[in-house]
Amino acid sequence: MNPAHKSFPVTWDQFHRDSRALAWRLMGEGPFDAIVAITRGGLVPAAIVARELNVRVIDCVAVKSYDHQNQGGINVLKAVDPEIIAAAKAGKKVLIIDDLVDTGATARVVREMLPGARLATVYAKPKGLDMVDTFITEVSQDTWIYFPWDLDVTYVEPISGGTD
């Protein structure tokens, strides 16, 4: 493996536990009036956090910033519901959820849409830490996280390369 590029595979069980841990960490900051999931990665943790914190108003914002494994320009594909934007401006507690904050570019765009909202992610990288209010696990900037929806069960060669 190239030491400049590390991989961090996350199983469904681990992601569920980490998302529940995020909900525990957010408990003291609520109650929240609405959750906005950043699609697609924020959909699963947003559902788990919403269940754990009993939040019923859930919206999503679709922001595309990754092109395969390289970050590109930011493109807003679906904006936040205007009622939630108005609620946030009126002082209601809105929580933005994503799976990961990487460079912070996506988070910055969504935060501009919802000033005053809290941003929580399951995982965080150093370049994006200043954009996130709450997270569970920090990983190095050169680590690529493989989320459970990106993985399939398959044989893996032993580290030594041989099986005898």
CATH number of the domain to which 37 belongs = 3.40.50.2020
How many CA atoms does the CB half-sphere of 13 hold within 13 Å?
A: 0
Does residue 51 form part of some domain? Answer: yes
Please tell me the predicted confidence (pLDDT) of residue 74: 83
Does residue 114 form part of some domain? Answer: yes
Please tell me the predicted confidence (pLDDT) of residue 73: 75
Is pLDDT of 3 > 60? no
Does residue 110 form part of some domain? Answer: yes
Of 13, 18, 33, 98, which is the active-site residue? 98
Domain containing 35: what range?
6-150
Amino acid at the residue 40: R
Of residues 164 and 110, the one with the higher pLDDT is: 110
Does residue 37 form part of some domain? Answer: yes
Please tell me the predicted confidence (pLDDT) of residue 1: 46
Of 18, 33, 59, 99, which is the active-site residue? 99
Average pLDDT, the chain: 90
102 is catalytic: yes
Is pLDDT of 2 > 60? no
CA distances from 147 to 28, 50, 71 (A): 27, 20, 17
Number of structural domains found in the chain: 1
127-160 pLDDT tens trace: 999 999 999 999 999 999 999 998 887 777 887 7
Is pLDDT of 14 > 60? yes
Does residue 159 form part of some domain? Answer: no
- Tokens 């019923």 belong to which residue? 56
Does residue 145 form part of some domain? Answer: yes
32-50 pLDDT tens trace: 999 999 999 999 999 999 9
Of 13, 102, 130, 133, which is the active-site residue? 102
DSSP-assigned letter for residue 126: G
Distance CA 149, CA 26 (A): 24
The secondary structure element, H or E, covering residue 25 is helix 12-26
99 is catalytic: yes
